[in-house]
């Protein structure tokens, strides 16, 4: 099949990882992918995108001011620019459809973006809409959304009118269903992992040696670090454990807007000797950093998200500790692939860490369960790509039957 992939994401965090991984998976399955996207630095061998779109930091980044050409702009102006961007996006998409004749259009949802739906209707192509967050809700909660009613109206209309709307958790599907989106149009598809790079054979010993952690018990978090990720709570839990476990170290892998406050917290709690901040890490080095951990922690997560880092932790066979939320329980159960604790109860997090620190066999067995889950449930990008193709084939079959 020929797939036209449309997105407005310029980030290199989990968003960029998701886009690249899914497109690579489509290609590995023998499909042809053409990208329509904002202009940005092109990676070797990757398609070129379109002109620049207005961009915004994620709503949970603390100072979440949107920017245009690197200059901060008011939220209302950003929202108007986002609406206006539909015109050049439609032109680019129409040209791409006429040039490549795709079987379907795959669009990663962005706030106020409806160009893909209109072009799919004009060119009689199926539209698969991928929604990783209900952005109208997220920006009302964590950001400063001005055109709230319009944003939600467009969001709901897109989800209702797409041939398939992919959501990453059942919790998110429930949100849209409560807002009137027919459940038969919603397809729940969790995020995944690249099994060629994230697997139990990855060696983390060089990373441990680099940070002087050869004899340590290492707890860690990996990702782009925002205030709501709860790493401050993980540091709090570490402080309570340090006296009983002097060999315990925390490895915080990655960068992000929460880092300055976390460094201050570590200094105030006099934990500098046992907390290590790596700073930015190249994507290719992430598997080895996760493999260097004895325990991998997801301290907190939004109620509807499907965190990529969780699947990476599992695939590498780490003992995982995560908050006991419905979206997390869609992937793992308590003592089955992970240990869960009441959300934002940092004392309970410390108790679960204590269990793993005092029982090596239990910790190793939990990691083995985690890796087995990825294989048995198909938490991979290739499996996700297959599900999308199968869904489009069902749409085509239904259309033929209706005719």
Q: Which residues does residue 164 pair with via DSSP β-bridges, in sequence order?
A: 128
**Percent above pLDDT 90 for the chain:** 77
**What is residue 48's predicted lDDT score, i.e. its pLDDT?**
32
The residue among 291, 309, 300, 312 whose CA lies nearest residue 349 is 300
Q: How far apart are CA 369 and CA 332, in angstroms?
A: 10
Q: Contact, 189 vs 168, CB < 8 A?
A: yes
Q: Hey, where are the domains in the chain? A: 2-192+380-402, 205-377
Give the global pTM. Answer: 0.89
The confidence score (pLDDT) of residue 39 equals 52
**Same fold: 2-192+380-402 with 205-377:** yes
Using CB atoms within 10 Å of the CB of residue 360, give its burial: 0 to 12 exposed, 13 to 18 middle, 19+ buried: exposed
Give the tens place of pLDDT for each residue, 346-399.
999 999 999 999 999 999 999 999 999 999 999 999 999 999 999 999 887 776
Chain segment 177-192, per-residue pLDDT in tens: 999 999 999 999 999 9
Q: The CATH number of 2-192+380-402 is which of 2.40.50.140, 3.40.1160.10, 3.40.50.2000, 3.40.50.300? A: 3.40.50.2000
Tell me how many degrees the CA angle 127-129-131 measures, rounded to the nearest 5: 180
Quote the pLDDT of residue 71: 80
- Residue 6's CB is within 10 A of a number of other CB atoms, namely 26
Angle between helices 14-28 and 381-402 (to 10 degrees): 70
Give the separation between CA 367 and CA 351, rounded to whole angstroms.
18
Residue 52: its pLDDT value, please?
42
Nearest to 264 by CA among 235, 300, 242, 298: 235
Q: What per-residue confidence (pLDDT) applies to 47?
A: 31
On whether the CB atoms of residues 14 and 312 are closer than 8 A, the answer is no
pLDDT value, residue 13: 64
**Superfamily of structural domain 205-377:** Glycogen Phosphorylase B; (3.40.50.2000)
Q: Which two tokens stand for residue 192?
A: 């995944």
Q: Which pair of structure tokens corresponds to residue 129?
A: 């809409």
- Taking the CA atoms of 279, 282, 285 and 290 in sequence, report the sign of the dihedral they define: positive
Phi then psi for residue 401, to 5 deg, are: -65, -40
Instruction: For the chain of 403 residues, list the mean pLDDT of each consecutive stretch of 10.
Output: 90 77 95 83 34 41 60 85 93 96 95 95 96 85 81 95 95 95 94 94 96 95 91 96 94 95 96 95 95 97 93 97 97 95 97 95 95 94 96 79 55
């Amino acid at each position: 099949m020929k797939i036209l992939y449309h997105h407005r994401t310029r980030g290199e965090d989990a968003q960029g990882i998701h886009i690249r991984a899914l497109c690579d998976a489509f290609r590995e399955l023998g499909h042809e992918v053409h990208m329509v996207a904002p202009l940005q630095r092109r990676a070797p061998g990757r398609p070129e995108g379109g002109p620049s779109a207005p961009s915004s930091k994620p709503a949970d980044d603390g100072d979440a001011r949107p920017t245009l050409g690197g200059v901060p702009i008011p939220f209302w102006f950003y929202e108007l620019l986002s609406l206006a961007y539909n015109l050049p996006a439609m032109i680019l998409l129409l040209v791409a459809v006429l040039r490549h004749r795709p079987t379907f259009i795959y669009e990663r949802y962005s706030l106020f973006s409806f160009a893909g739906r209109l072009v799919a209707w004009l060119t009689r192509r199926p539209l698969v809409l991928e929604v990783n967050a209900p952005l109208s809700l997220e920006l009302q909660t964590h950001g400063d959304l001005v055109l709230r009613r319009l944003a939600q109206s467009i969001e709901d209309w897109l989800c209702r009118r797409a041939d398939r709307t992919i959501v990453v958790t059942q919790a998110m599907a429930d949100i849209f269903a409560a807002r009137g989106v027919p459940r038969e149009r919603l397809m729940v598809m969790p995020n995944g992992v690249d099994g060629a790079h994230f697997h139990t054979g990855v060696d983390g010993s060089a990373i441990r040696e680099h940070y002087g952690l050869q004899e340590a018990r290492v707890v860690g978090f990996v990702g782009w670090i925002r205030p709501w990720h709860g790493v401050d709570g993980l540091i709090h839990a570490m402080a309570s454990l340090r006296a009983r476990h002097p060999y315990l170290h925390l490895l915080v892998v990655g960068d992000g807007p929460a880092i300055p406050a976390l460094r201050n917290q570590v200094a105030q709690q006099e934990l500098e000797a046992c907390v290590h901040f790596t700073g930015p890490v190249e994507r290719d080095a992430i598997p080895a950093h996760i493999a260097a951990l004895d325990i991998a922690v997801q301290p907190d997560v939004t109620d509807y998200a499907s965190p990529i880092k969780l699947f990476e932790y599992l695939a590498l066979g780490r003992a995982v500790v995560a908050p006991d939320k419905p979206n997390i329980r869609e992937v793992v159960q308590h003592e089955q692939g992970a240990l869960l604790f009441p959300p934002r109860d940092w004392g309970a997090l410390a108790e679960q860490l204590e269990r793993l620190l005092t029982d090596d066999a239990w910790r190793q067995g939990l990691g083995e369960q985690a890796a087995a889950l990825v294989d048995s449930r198909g938490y991979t990008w290739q499996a996700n790509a297959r599900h999308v193709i199968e869904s489009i084939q069902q749409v085509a079959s239904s259309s033929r039957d209706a005719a």
